[in-house]
Structure 1
Amino acid sequence: MRALASAAVVAFIVDQLSKYLVIHQMELWRVQAIDVLPPLLNFRYGENRGINFGLFSDGSDASRWVLIGLAVVICAAVLIWVRRQQLGLWPQVGAGLLIGGALANVLDRLLYGYVLDFLNMSCCGIDNPFVFNIADVFIFGGAILLVFLAPDPKDRSKKGQ
């Protein structure tokens, strides 16, 4: 569980530090756009009141609290599942990245009422209008690690026969 906790703390801190540096110190909130390595990497200011890609972003206070509650419940469920499964190092790291990223976005919703996004990536003639943040990368990467590296429960049931 130490790997899970360490990964969660690192993901949380890296996300919050990146948002502080880019949005507040580089004043992305004011300038709205900074081209870093166009078109591959740009900073674009975004306020996400929904889930991925702005889905369910009606902006109401009720939906904000529902999304906070849902994220906390999912984090708790993943933590309980990992404890029961006794997973190895990399699945624990994946769970930690997922939990740390989700809690970083929860903190944004508590502080600002929305999730701060700033990363925009385009390539190959495709202009991507969406923005995301480092926490989203950790959530996605953590989920991928869990999907591909967590043991298959069917294998465990076969061994018990």
Structure 2
Amino acid sequence: MTGFLFELAFLLAAPVWLLMIFAPGWRGTERVAASPLTVLPLLALWAVLAAPVMPEMWAAVSSPDIDTFRELTALPQGAGAIWAQILAWDLLLGQWMYREARRLAVSPLLMGPLLLLTILLSPIALPLFLAARSWTNRVTDQLPSSTSR
């Protein structure tokens, strides 16, 4: 059962990622990406997985050390809960990146790969996105402003 819940976690996040990557201009995608409620199914799954290992989880987060954390991740429910939590936070991060990219008119051809990288390795994708965002802001600031007639 825990293996199924582990796999279900990604399936719960995948539709939002697919919309942001493959249908970035669709109005429905913008509505979905604007909602923080997209992570609620993942957080509910986290609760189901975390409940049986809450004492171990509490020990790992209240007094962090590598051995206690390793013991938590050795438990199937512990690893599953951490996976669901990572997916939830990565999804929120991806939604923010998507909305920022839309606001700044960053090309979907750049954002698609960046969002895919966010799914896989968000600690690499976020700095790349922040660099692209900074560059876009600089370029936008240097454009001559339109004048009213």
Task: Give the TM-score, by structure 1 length.
Answer: 0.32
Task: Give the TM-score, by structure 2 length.
Answer: 0.34
- Structure ranking higher in helix proportion: 2
- Structure ranking higher in strand proportion: 1
Larger Rg: 2
Higher relative CO (Cα under 8 Å, sequence separation at least 6) belongs to 1
